């Protein structure tokens, strides 16, 4: 990746933050909390996106951002009131802007129809006549027509002033230029000497300095401008190129440029550059009294150092956003890994100090306890660095709700709770699509139409509640709606029609609800453009399972449905049950374990010559002897001597895993085996336990499915 690509990546990352800021700001204004700083930050967000997009030649994005920004400028200057109608357009524009950013990121074309429609809406709001601004001739005209925009970024063409455009004008021309700076020219940091120097680069020139206006010393204003210049320039360049030299001082000087056709300049007529500079220096020396120049430095110090400080503090407080730093995930992973190693080493040392017969309260072990405490804290800290508040994720959902409400004609209010709850960044990223789908479902299928709601005596506006919370070391996310609830008769009928269940199946409510998660199930009678995107709840379930999470559903007729997603805090660490299997230590992911039990003789039933099943509450689970399965021992173990872990795969297949004993339940740092060794069937990864032993983490799905296939 070259530097420019890296900067581009930074830009897209920055865009994400800016879009979130933009949407958040607009929502604040929508809810009546927005103040002028909110509006300013909204404007800045769009403005920054436009600026960056321009740098990378993302014209579509630039054009749209400009149209958007123009309206926001109107809002900012109180020329446009943020009525509901205006905010609706602004929020829709935010969505389009996000789409354009995403399209630019992946290098695709965006839906131009929608973009054009919103540009029209925006222009309507502004009622700005088209083509107000200068049009850059380098841009193709079609692009402007296509987007219906009136903006073209105008780039200053400084090349013409350095090179001179020789190709267009082969013959040399002579110009007479009269240049009289006003005092304001100098106070804005411009220098007549530099302007003359730049002018000299256009061709041969003869410069005369008029010093006649310099007053006597006592009448001199140190800030005054008393010198004028008369320049005769022989050049290939034309008048605009000469005016370009004076671009920054236009209005701060008297300037006349005449094209003359007199004879070329003579050699002697040319004033060497050094001389011009000397003249300029003289002006500076003469222009300021010695007393003034001597006094100024002391004033400078007091002003610069003290004056700004007085009002700095409030500025900082109003800025609000905490300072942040971008760090690549790779580095964080490394840190987390190292901290993991540290924890392991620390506990190994602790075990060495436990010398038999020695009192445990020795000074060394007391200090080691402190070290342990500290390493745990470091570990916690390192993990929280990867964590991000779910706010950004939730903010995206407000867009989904808006779009859904618009396309279905329903009125929906989204309530979000627990936005500050932090989850691993990767989890947030991978949770976006499933959550979007669930929200779409809630709007599309969950909530009734306004008419039906009124009939049922419910408020016309439906409510979707999205909440996140930490619960016993895991994250719980609820998506609930106050809609009609699951229509169980219909769900069951569809499942029968699709052959997912037998016609005479007797199912409990919970079992019917779980049909929704079956592959190939889709309840929409006609595919709506909202949720009917070929993705069913089974995909949602899979995605959540892949994150080590679970999803469940509770529904009450006419009261609505609640989906609950239960997730681990991070992907780098896993909650596992440490079990002993044929003398080996194996970690079984806790998320797969439903229960553990010690089987009684009447629970075990033989099936064929070797297979055995476990009877548990009327259900029969095949017993898998883990030691045998993983090849640790030849013979199958007696189930009555071991412990059984009842596990469930992502697909819902259940099995009873037979292990020797359960040692512990703990968090383990996941170490990839595939990176260093290769893929091992039945094994997901490895970890190092507190006593320094390496332990394998079981891949429950692969073990169970392998048995099912056999």
Partner 1 sequence: MPLNILAVDDSQTMRDMLVLALAGAEFNVTLAENGLQGIHALQKMNPNVIITDINMPVLDGFGFIERVRKGDKLRAVPILILTTESAPELKQRARNAGATGWIVKPFDKVKLISAIRKVAA
- 274 interacts with partner 1 by CB under 8 A: no
Q: How far apart are CA 182 and CA 189, in angstroms?
A: 12
- Tell me how far apart the alpha carbons of residues 370 and 499 are, in angstroms, rounded to a whole number: 61
For every residue of 493-522, DSSP letters joined together read HHHHHTTSS-TT----HHHHHHHTTSTT--
Within 501-610, strands assigned E span: 550-556, 560-568, 573-581, 584-589, 593-597, 604-607
Binding part of the chain for partner 1, among 46-54, 79-87, 167-175, 563-571 by CB under 8 A, reads 46-54
Shortest gap between Cβ of 89 and partner 1 (angstroms)? 22
Binding mask 238-257 vs partner 1 (x if CB under 8 A, - otherwise)? ---------xx--xx-----
**Among 95-103, 306-314, 575-583, 618-626, which window interacts with partner 1 (CB under 8 A)?**
306-314
517 binds partner 1 (CB under 8 A): no
Nearer Cβ to partner 1, position 316 or 602?
Answer: 316
Count of residues near partner 1 by CB under 8 A: 61
Residue 189 touching partner 1 (CB under 8 A): yes
Kindly report the backbone phi and psi dihedral angles of residue 486, in degrees, each rounded to the nearest multiple of 5, phi listed first. Answer: -75, 130
Q: Does 55 bind partner 1 (CB under 8 A)?
A: yes
**680 phi, psi to nearest 5 deg:** -115, 125
CA pair distance 681, 150, nearest whole angstrom: 61
Among 5, 254, 312, 664, binds partner 1 (CB under 8 A): 312
Task: Find the binding residues for partner 1 in span 317-336 (CB under 8 A).
Answer: 318-319, 321, 326
CA distance 93 to 99: 10
| Closest by CA position to 581, among listed 693, 663, 682 | 663
Site membership for partner 1, residue 50 (CB under 8 A): yes
**Rounded Cα distance, 11 and 49, in Å:** 8
User: Strands across the sheet with 412-417, in order?
Assistant: 412-417, 462-471, 474-481, 560-568, 550-556
Does 137 participate in binding partner 1 (rule CB under 8 A)? no
What is the number of other CB atoms lying within 10 angstroms of the CB of residue 507?
Answer: 15
Q: Is 285 in the site for partner 1 (CB under 8 A)?
A: no
Binding mask 6-35 for partner 1 (x = CB under 8 A): xx--xx--x---------------------
CA 680 to CA 697: how far, in whole Å? 11
Q: CA distances (Å), 280 to each of 76, 363, 429, 604, in order?
A: 44, 79, 61, 104
Rounded to a whole number of angstroms, the minimum distance from the CB of residue 306 to partner 1 is 11
Per-residue binding string, partner 1, 580-619, x by CB under 8 A, is ----------------------------------------
Counting contacts by CB under 8 A, is residue 111 touching partner 1?
no
Please identify, using beta-carbon distances, which residue of 158 and 381 lies nearer to partner 1.
158
The residues, ordered by sequence, that sit 6+ positions from 593 with a Cβ below 8 Å of its Cβ are 577, 645, 646, 647
CB 481, CB 560: distance < 8 Å: yes
| Candidates 4-12, 96-104, 265-273, 339-347; binding stretch for partner 1 (CB under 8 A) | 4-12
Q: How far is the CB of 65 from partner 1 (least distance, A)?
A: 9
Q: Which residues pair with 474 in a beta bridge?
A: 471, 568
Place of tokens 């007529």: 269
Q: By CB under 8 A, is residue 279 in contact with partner 1?
A: no
3-state secondary structure of 318: helix
Contacting residue, 153, 224, 450, 622, with partner 1 by CB under 8 A: 153
Q: How far is the CB of 104 from partner 1 (least distance, A)?
A: 13
Q: Is 560 in the site for partner 1 (CB under 8 A)?
A: no
Nearer CB in complex with partner 1: 167/212: 167
Interacting residue ranges for partner 1, rule: CB under 8 A: 3-4, 6-7, 10-11, 14, 40-41, 43-44, 47-48, 50-52, 54-57, 133-134, 153-159, 161-162, 186-191, 193-194, 198, 247-248, 251-252, 296-297, 299-301, 303-305, 307-308, 312, 315-316, 318-319, 321, 326
């Amino acid at each position: 990746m070259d530097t420019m690509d890296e900067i581009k990546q930074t830009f897209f990352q920055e865009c994400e933050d800016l879009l979130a800021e933009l949407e958040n700001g607009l929502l604040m204004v929508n809810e009546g909390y927005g103040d002028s700083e909110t509006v300013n930050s909204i404007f800045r967000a769009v403005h920054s996106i436009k600026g960056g997009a321009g740098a990378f030649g993302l014209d579509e994005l630039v054009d749209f951002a400009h149209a958007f920004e123009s309206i926001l400028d109107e809002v900012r200057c109180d020329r446009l009131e943020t009525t509901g109608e205006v905010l609706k357009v602004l929020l829709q524009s935010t969505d389009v802007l996000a789409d354009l950013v995403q399209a630019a990121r992946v290098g695709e074309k965006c839906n131009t129809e929608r973009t054009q429609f919103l540009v029209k809406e925006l222009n309507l709001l502004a009622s700005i006549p088209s083509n107000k601004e200068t049009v850059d001739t380098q841009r193709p005209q079609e692009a402007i027509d296509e987007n219906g925009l009136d903006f073209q970024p105008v780039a200053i063409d400084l090349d013409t002033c350095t090179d001179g455009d020789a190709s267009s004008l082969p013959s040399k021309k002579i110009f007479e230029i009269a240049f009289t700076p006003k005092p304001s020219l100098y106070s804005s940091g411009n220098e007549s000497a530099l302007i003359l120097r730049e002018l000299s680069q256009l061709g041969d020139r003869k410069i005369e300095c008029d010093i006649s206006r310099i007053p006597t010393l006592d009448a001199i204003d140190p800030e005054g401008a008393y010198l004028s210049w008369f320049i005769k320039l022989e050049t290939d360049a034309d008048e605009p190129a000469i005016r370009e030299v004076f671009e920054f001082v236009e209005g701060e000087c008297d300037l006349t440029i005449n094209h003359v056709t007199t004879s070329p300049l003579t050699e002697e007529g040319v004033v060497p550059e050094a001389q011009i500079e000397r003249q300029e220096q003289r002006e500076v020396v003469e222009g300021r009294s010695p007393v003034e120049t001597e006094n100024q430095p002391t004033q400078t110090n007091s002003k610069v150092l003290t004056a700004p400080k007085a009002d700095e503090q409030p500025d900082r407080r109003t800025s609000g956003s905490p300072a942040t730093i971008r760090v690549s995930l790779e580095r964080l992973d490394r840190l987390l890994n190292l901290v993991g190693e540290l924890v392991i080493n620390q506990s190994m040392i602790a075990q060495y100090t436990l010398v038999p017969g020695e009192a445990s309260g020795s000074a060394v072990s007391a200090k080691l306890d402190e070290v342990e405490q500290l390493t745990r804290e470091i570990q916690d800290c390192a993990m929280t660095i990867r964590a991000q508040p779910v706010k950004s994720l939730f903010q995206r959902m407000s867009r989904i709700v808006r779009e859904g409400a618009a396309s279905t004609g329903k009125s929906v209010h989204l309530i979000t709770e627990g936005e500050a709850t932090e989850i691993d960044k990767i989890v947030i990223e991978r949770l976006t699509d499933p959550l979007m789908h669930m929200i779409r479902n809630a709007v599309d299928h969950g909530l009734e139409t306004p008419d039906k709601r009124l009939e049922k005596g419910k408020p016309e506006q439906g409510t979707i509640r999205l909440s996140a919370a930490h619960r016993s070391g895991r994250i719980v996310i609820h998506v609930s709606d106050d809609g009609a609830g699951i229509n169980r008769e219909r769900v069951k009928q569809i499942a029968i029609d699709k052959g997912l269940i037998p016609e005479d199946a007797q199912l409990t409510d919970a079992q019917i609800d779980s049909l929704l998660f079956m592959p190939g199930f889709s309840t929409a009678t006609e595919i709506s453009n909202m949720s009917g995107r070929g993705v069913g709840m089974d995909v949602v379930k899979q995605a959540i399972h892949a994150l080590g999470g679970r999803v469940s559903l509770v529904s009450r007729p006419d009261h609505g449905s609640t989906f609950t997603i239960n997730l681990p805090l991070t992907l780098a660490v896993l909650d596992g049950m440490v079990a002993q299997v044929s003398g080996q230590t194996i970690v079984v992911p806790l998320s797969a374990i439903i229960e553990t039990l010690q089987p009684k003789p009447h629970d075990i039933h033989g099936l064929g010559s070797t297979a055995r099943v476990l009877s548990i509450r009327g259900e029969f689970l095949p017993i898998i002897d883990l030691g045998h399965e993983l090849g640790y021992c030849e013979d199958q173990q007696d189930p009555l001597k071991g412990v059984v872990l009842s596990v469930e795969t992502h697909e819902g297949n259940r099995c009873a895993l037979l292990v020797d004993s359960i040692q512990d339940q703990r968090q383990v740092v996941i170490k990839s085996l595939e990176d260093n060794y290769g893929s091992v069937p039945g094994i997901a990864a490895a970890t190092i336990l507190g006593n320094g032993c390496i332990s394998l983490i079981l891949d429950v799905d692969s073990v169970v499915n392998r048995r099912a296939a056999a």
